[in-house]
Structure 1
Amino acid sequence: MRGSGRPTMVDVAADAGVSLKTVSRVINSEPNVDVEMAARVEASVVRLGYHRNAIAASLRSGSRDTIGFVSADLSNTFYMAIAAAVSTVAVTRGMQVIVASSEEDAARERALALDLAQRRVAGLIVVPAGDDSAYLSGEVERGTPVVFLDRPGRGIRADDLLIDNRGGARAAVAELLAVGHERIAVLLDSPAIYTMAERRAGVEEAFAAAGRAIDPRLVAEGLHTPAAAREAMQRLLSLAEPPTAVFCGNNRSTIGALEALLATEADVALTGFDDFELSRLLPRAIRIVDYDTAALGERAATTLLDRIAGSPPAGQPFLLPTHLVTRGLGLGG
């Protein structure tokens, strides 16, 4: 056998002394296979301990029992939780899930989604990294339903399942303004990302409603990692007039900001969008814009499976509500 130690159909063919095509026909229970050859293949399968890869076989044969999920960034626990929820629903309906990550690259998203569609998955859940999803129109016309998650699809009629990003950010910053904070910092990922643009808009709406404007000196964008957010927070803390509060646009920025604040014991109120693991165990209280992540993943899977079964896309986006909770010091929300 080859170096991996796991027997393949090539190994079975060599052991049985037959062609790879014959092995494939026997394993897939195709008719009209020579009885003697079939017996040799079956004996080799048992002897070598070969196990058929059901997902790979499904994709090769075009069986419609697999769906694809193209995430934006699987290093983010949000997308991992979504993938787990999607898989839970899919398995109960007799489906398998293939998960891929675009790493926030529109070209990679396109390549991954089209590759899965060409492998004849039954449907796709896609987190758009770009601003044009029309490249999937042909696949939809050929019968592959698409559901867009977390960000809307553009240039195509499909279901959009979104979080109330604008409303959640607006409520979070309005709360900080209401208790008297004068200098509120804002830490965000790239403004090109739909969710960040919506959350920034919510922040601006909260300031406008209070008759105020964001101080551009207290805004840092393009923070894709906790390390980048930590450095941005450290820089803001070094200002002659540092912020008294900070709003973080996602959980990764919240973690980075917390690292800077805990290291300096700075008295800065923190509110972040997206919960994260161990938030309840923090040694200080923070506020979180929270929502039911599992419900969003379950809704995406159920919606896609309904479309596969023949129901048409909804006319309006589904908007998942948010709410503010307290985390840290053992507190729930």
Structure 2
Amino acid sequence: MARSAKTGRSNGPTLRDVAGRAGVSAMTVTRALRDDPRVSPETRERVLAAVAELGYRPNAVARSLRLGRASGLVGLVVTNLANPFYSRLALGLDSVVGEHGLKTVIGNTGQDLDAERDLVADLVTRRVDGIIAVPAEADQRHLAAAAAQGVPVVCASRPPSGFEADHVLVDDFGGAKDATERLIAQGHRRIGFLGPPAAVYTSTERLRGYHAALADAGLPADDRHVRQGAQDTADAAHAAAELLALHDPPTALFCSNNRNTIGAVRAAGPDVALAGFDDFELADMLGRALTIVAYDSDELGRAAGRLLVDRIHQTPESTAAPRRTVLPTRPLHYGG
């Protein structure tokens, strides 16, 4: 690791250090970090692995010289603009970055990893000042590459994977466990689970909380009562109908996001107890008992925005190790 001749303090790994670790030239490292098509996928993976192992971060001055004048734009990458959660996140983010003269550009990936890669690459090409991303999957090499090029990256709702970055999460495990425990306290012993695809971090964490509540109550976990994969209300309604058509159907459903809760409301009669994660408009007007795990989605955006602004402006706080913020949840009870 390079050291200052005057102070002896570590200056961090250099581009040449990364090249040496990956067994390539410094120029190849530069091209790999720019996603240059002349670099093979295998070589790019070696370079990104070396970047992650060494914790390489480009010099801020070099970044400004390379990127030129700042664009004044911040990219927000989300998975489903149809979900009101993301509009609240965007409003929270915009309220913070707007105070610093920055504007938010929003891109939707549709939970598609290839679309996310293309979108992130386009944002980097357009010289955004930073990126807030809700990653679609655990494969985040494109985000790691953007960060390695000196573009500040903050992950929201889902943590970084394969690289280090500031991130803001919700207490997914704790909120799901609490909601499931409330259904158990009502006397339910067969509780179904509805959630988005298993590759989604929040779905996995909320399923883990659901299982933990069952285990603590001495109840068996029945895989037949779990449905993961629904991304819209129609799919969720179909999944809920499947569960309720079983020979021994659940008497209650825990729905791990608002799209699944709305789908379950459409499919389940009033005799089926419902608990869901994420509040949504008109939840209090449904005329049925409903427990919701709520949190401040605007604050999720604001917290991510504050972390990003720190990195963009190179504040003293941003020189520390990547920071993790976890927002608390609270139960809401509607109807009955």
Length-normalised TM-score, structure 1: 0.76
Q: Secondary structure at the match of 1:326?
A: strand
Task: Say if 2:279 and 2:292, in contact at 8 Å, map to a contact too.
Answer: yes
Distance 2:92 2:233 in 1: 25
Q: Deviations over 1:268-315 (max 9, x none)?
A: 110001111111212112000111111111111111011101023644
Is residue 121 of structure 2 the alignment partner of residue 121 of structure 1? no
Unaligned runs of 5+ residues in structure 1 are 1-59
Distance 1:246 1:137, change over 3 A: closer
Task: Say if 2:120 and 2:142, in contact at 8 Å, map to a contact too.
Answer: no
Structure 2 counterpart of 1:295: 299
Distance 1:114 1:250, change over 3 A: same
Structure 2 counterpart of 1:28: none
Is residue 282 of structure 2 the alignment partner of residue 278 of structure 1? yes
Range moving further from structure 2, 278-287 or 234-243: 234-243
Q: Report sequence identity in percent.
A: 42
Structure 1 counterpart of 2:151: 144
Superposition CA RMSD, Å:
1.8
Match of 2:136, as an amino acid?
Answer: A
Match of 1:268 among 259, 264, 272: 272
Structure 2 counterpart of 1:69: 76
Q: Report 1:233-252 matches (<5 A).
A: 233-252=240-259
Q: Secondary structure at the match of 1:191?
A: coil
Cα drift, residue 219 of structure 1: 1.6
Match of 1:295, as an amino acid?
Answer: E
Match of 2:297, as an amino acid?
Answer: T
Q: Deviations over 1:38-58 (max 9, x none)?
A: xxxxxxxxxxxxxxxxxxxxx
Match of 1:197 among 204, 209, 221: 204
Task: Say if 2:90 and 2:298, in contact at 8 Å, map to a contact too.
Answer: no
How many residue pairs match? The answer is: 267
Q: Secondary structure at the match of 2:160?
A: coil
Structure 2 counterpart of 1:101: 108
Task: Say if 1:123 and 1:146, in contact at 8 Å, map to a contact too.
Answer: yes
Task: Say if 2:160 and 2:167, in contact at 8 Å, map to a contact too.
Answer: yes
Is residue 87 of structure 2 the alignment partner of residue 83 of structure 1? no
Task: Say if 2:120 and 2:146, in contact at 8 Å, map to a contact too.
Answer: no
Structure 2 counterpart of 1:43: none
Match of 2:234, as an amino acid?
Answer: A
Is residue 133 of structure 2 the alignment partner of residue 135 of structure 1? no
Is residue 319 of structure 2 the alignment partner of residue 312 of structure 1? yes
Is residue 174 of structure 2 the alignment partner of residue 170 of structure 1? no
Distance 1:251 1:208 in 2: 25
Q: Secondary structure at the match of 1:211?
A: coil
Task: Say if 2:189 and 2:219, in contact at 8 Å, map to a contact too.
Answer: no
Cα drift, residue 241 of structure 1: 3.0
Unaligned runs of 5+ residues in structure 2 are 1-66
